[in-house]
Structure 1
Amino acid sequence: MINQTQKPLTFTVNLTPKAHQLAEHFCNNHSNLQKSEQVYFNTLAIYAVNHYLQCLGFANDWKASNSYDVIMQSFLDVADLEVIDYGKLECRVVLPNAEFVYIPQEVWVGRIGYIAVQIDESLQAATLLGFTSRVAKEQLPLNQLRTLEEFPQYLQQVTPLINLNEWFEDILQQGWQNLESLLNTGTVGNLNPSFKDASYLQTEEIIKAVKWIELGNQSVLMLIALKSEEDEQISVRLRIYPDSEQNCLPENIKLSILSDSGEILKEVTSRNIDNFIQLPSFRCSSQESFKIQLYLDNIYFTESFFL
C-alpha cells in the first residue's frame, strides 16, 4: 500500500494534440453524449499508460485491445491495453480531486492489473497515481493503491491470463496443443501408455488441450477438458499424466485450483503408483477466473484462466 507519510511515486504524461485527435476520432463514433465523454477520457488514460510502458521498455498492442474496437466501446466501459507477452492492463480514469478510482465490474476479470490515471482539469496532462493487481469493488480508494515503484517488478512476474472462450474458437495460446492433433501426429506411440486413455474423450463434444510442463528435472503432461453446459456455464476437468519415459507420476505432485487471492479451492496429491491424477470437475460462469498450480520439490508452476 502507499505510505501515507511519504509522497508516492507518480508519472506524468503530456497529453499532446495527437492524444486528443485519437480521443476525438473514437468519441465521434458515439452519438450518446455520456458514452462519447467516457470514451474520450478512457482514450486519454490509455494513451498515458501506453507512453509510460514504452518508457519502461514494455511493448504494447493497443489495436489488439477491446478499447480500440468501436463496437466494444459501445457496449462496455473498457480501457484496456494489451501488453505483449503479459496480458491486458486496465487504465482507469481519476477525475481531479477524486478520492477513489472507479473500476466497473465488467473488467474485474481478464486483467493483469489496473492503473489509476488522473486527468487534470485542462486535459493537458495525465498522472499515473498507482496500481492494483486485482479488484473486488467498484470504488477503490486511492490510498489503497500500490506505488508505481513496485510496478515494473510486478509486471515482469505476471503470469499471462488465458482466455478459455478462445478455445471454443479453436484458438490456443502458446504452449497448448489440441488433443486430437497430438494423437493424430503419429507420435502417439511415444506417449505414455496411461495417457492414451485420454483418447476416449474424443467421443464427447468437448474442447481438449494439453501442455508439457517442466517441474525441475521432471516432465508431466497437463490435460484440460471443457464442456458447455445448458445453464451457460462451462464444465472444467483437469488431469496430469507422466511423461513418455515414466510409467507413474513422481510422488507428491500437488495439483491445485486457486482463487484469484491464492486460496486453495481444491487439491490432489500424487502417489508413486498413480499413472495420472485429476481433480473433480468444476463449473465456471462468464466473468469468472481461476488459477491452476502444480507443486513438486519447492518448484511451482502456475497458469491463470478466465471466461
Structure 2
Amino acid sequence: MTNITSWLENFAVPLPISQAARTTAQLFADQQPTSAKAEQVRLNTLAVSVVNDYLQMMEIPTDLSNSDSWNLIVRLCANVADLEIPSVGRLECRPVRLHEQVCTIPAETWEERVGYVVVQIDESLHEAKLLGFIKNATTETFPLNQLQPPETLIDCLAELKTSPVKTLVNLSQWFVGQCEAGWQTLESLWNSLGSIPAYGFRSPVTTQNTPLNQAETVTRRAKLMDLGIQIDNQPVMLLIEINPEANQQTSIRLQLHATGNQIYLPENVQLTVLDQSGAVFLKAAARSADNYIQLQFKGEIKEQFSVQVSFDDMSITENFII
C-alpha cells in the first residue's frame, strides 16, 4: 500500500480487514440500487469496521448498532460512515483508495461528529491503514497531507469522554421512521408499560385545525422520563408531535403526561424549552389537577433547542435539532 506522502506513511497504522467485515460490507452493498452506491456503501462499511476493531483493541467501547452506517434506510439515503462511541458521540470514518491524495467528506456529515478518521483500503479489501484524524470538516475534500497522526484520535476521544459532545436528537429523521434509542411510537410505549396508560383516554394530541390531507404528515414519538417522582412506580411520559409546514418550518408540540395508574402529574413538575444558547424560550408547570401540560412552537431546519423536564432538584434534558 503506497502512494501517500512519506511522512504520512511514517505514522499510518496498518490493520487487517476481517472476513466478518468483508461479509457485512458485501451484504450492505447488495442492498443498494446501483453499482456506484453499492461501492460507496462497501467502502464506508469497511472503514467503519476497521476503526471499530481498532478502537476495541485500544479498549475504547463502541456501539455499531446505534450508528447510522448500520441503519438500512440511512445507508440508502445518505453517504455516511459513522461509528457511535458511547458517552462521546459519533466518529466519521472516511475511506480512501490507493493513489488518492484527498478524502471526500460529504456536507451531510459536517454536524453531529466528534471528528473524522481516514482509512485507506487496499484493492484486495484485506488490508487497511489508519492514515490520520481531523476534528472538524468544513469542505467536501480534504488533503491527506493535512491529517493529524492517529494517536491524536485517541487523545481527542479521551478528552471528549470527560466532557462529551452534546448528543442531538434529529427530528427531521423521524419523518422517515428513524428514531434514536428510547423514542418510541405510542403503541410501542404502551406495550412496554404493560397496559394502556392514562394518556390513552385523555385529550387527543392531534394538531388543531389540521386539514385531513395533511394528517398523515404528523409524526409522534414518546419517551419515558424517570425523575424519581413516580407514583405507583410509573414515570412521566414526554410526547413530541412534529408536523412539516411551509418555508422549511416545522410545527412542534410537546406534552408531558402522567402514565399508568397516575391520575395527575405531580404538582409543579415543569416542562421547559431552551434555545441553542441555553436561555428559556417557553415554560409550563403542572397545577394540582393537571393530567398533562404542553408547549407548542415552530422552528426552522437545522435549528437546535433543548427540552427539560424537572421537579424539585431533579431534571432531565433532551437536546434536539430540527
TM-score (structure 2 length as normaliser): 0.58
Counterpart Cα distance in 2 of 1:270 and 1:65: 34
Per the TM alignment, residue 77 of structure 1 is displaced from its structure 2 partner at its CA by: 3.6
| 1:107 and 2:109 are equivalent in the alignment | yes
CA RMSD in angstroms comes to 5.3
Deviation at 1:199, TM superposition (A): 1.8
**Structure-2 separation of matches of 1:60 and 1:70:** 18
Change (3 A) 1:70 1:226: closer
Equivalent residue for 1:293?
307
Deviates more, 1:199-208 or 1:220-229: 199-208
Contact 2:89 2:114 in 1 (8 A): no
Q: Which deviates further from its counterpart, 167-176 or 209-218?
A: 167-176
Question: 1:255: which partner in 2?
Answer: 272
| Structure 1 residues 43 and 225: alpha-carbon distance in aligned structure 2, compared to 1, 3 A threshold | closer
CA 1:210–1:91: 2 relative to 1, 3 Å: same
Output one character per residue of 1:146-181: Cα deviation in whole Å (capped at 9) or x when no partner. Answer: 742241573695676545456446676554454477
- Contact 1:101-1:142 within 8 A present in 2 as well: no
Post-superposition CA distance 1:260-299 (Å, at most 9, x none): xxx23752344575856544411343xx363423164665
Contact 2:286–2:293 (8 Å) recurs in 1: no
**Residue 219 of structure 2 aligns to which amino acid in structure 1?**
I
Please report how far the alpha carbon of residue 91 of structure 1 lies from its aligned counterpart in structure 2 after TM superposition.
0.8
CA distance change for structure 1 residues 216 and 121 in 2, over 3 Å: closer, same or farther? same
The match for 1:148 among 142, 150, 154 is 154
- 2: distance between equivalents of 1:207 and 1:225? 6
* Counterpart residue number, 1:282: 298
Q: Whole-Å Cα distance in 2 between the matches of residues 170 and 44 of structure 1?
A: 26
Match of 2:54 in 1: 52
User: What one-letter code is carried by the residue in structure 1 that aligns with 2:307?
Assistant: Q
Give 2:157's aligned amino acid: F
Inter-CA distance 231–270: structure 2 relative to 1 (3 Å threshold): closer
Aligned twin of 1:303? 318
- State the TM-score, normalizing by the size of structure 1: 0.60
Secondary structure at the counterpart of residue 215 of structure 1: coil
Residue 138 (structure 1) shift: 4.4
What are the Cα deviations for residues 110-169 of structure 1, in whole angstroms up to 9, with x where unaligned? x4533322539999542263464x7555467656x9742241573695676545456446
Q: Does 1:126 align with 2:129?
A: yes
Give the Cα separation in 2 of the matches to 1:76 and 1:54: 26
1:4 aligns with: none
Structure 1, residues 201-252: CA drift from partner, whole Å, max 9, x if none? 37753333333323355764322111133556532222345673545323xx
Counterpart Cα distance in 1 of 2:205 and 2:286: 25
Corresponding residue for 1:228?
244
Cα distance in 2 between the residues matched to 1:37 and 1:168: 27
Distance 1:17 1:178 in 2: 37
Does the CA contact (< 8 Å) of 2:96 and 2:121 recur in 1?
Answer: no
User: Cα offset for 1:255?
Assistant: 1.6
In structure 1, the residue matched to 2:3 is: none
**How far apart are the structure 2 equivalents of 1:258 and 1:158?**
17
Which of 194, 204, 208 lines up with 2:220 in the alignment? Answer: 208
Report sequence identity in percent. Answer: 24
In the TM superposition, what is the alpha-carbon distance from 1:78 to its structure 2 partner? 2.8
Q: 1:248 to 1:101 in 2, by over 3 A?
A: farther
Matching residue's letter, 2:244: S
- The separation in 2 between residues aligned to 1:117 and 1:233, in whole angstroms, is 35
Any unmatched runs of 5+ in structure 2?
A: 1-10
Work out whether 1:238 is the aligned partner of 2:254: yes
Q: Partner amino acid for 1:227?
A: N
Tell me how far 1:79 sits from its aligned partner. 2.0
User: SS of 1:201's equivalent?
Assistant: coil
Deviation at 1:42, TM superposition (A): 3.9
If asked which structure has higher relative contact order (CA below 8 Å, sep 6+), I would say 1
Whole-angstrom distance in 2 between the partners of 1:70 and 1:210: 21
| Residues 227 and 45 of structure 1: CA distance in aligned 2, closer, same or farther (over 3 Å) | same
CA distance in 1, matches of 2:122, 2:194: 61
Query: How far apart, CA to CA, are the structure 2 residues paired with 1:76 and 1:255?
Result: 33
CA contact (8 A) 2:117 2:153 kept: no
Return the alpha-carbon distance in structure 2 between the equivalents of residues 164 and 267 of structure 1.
18
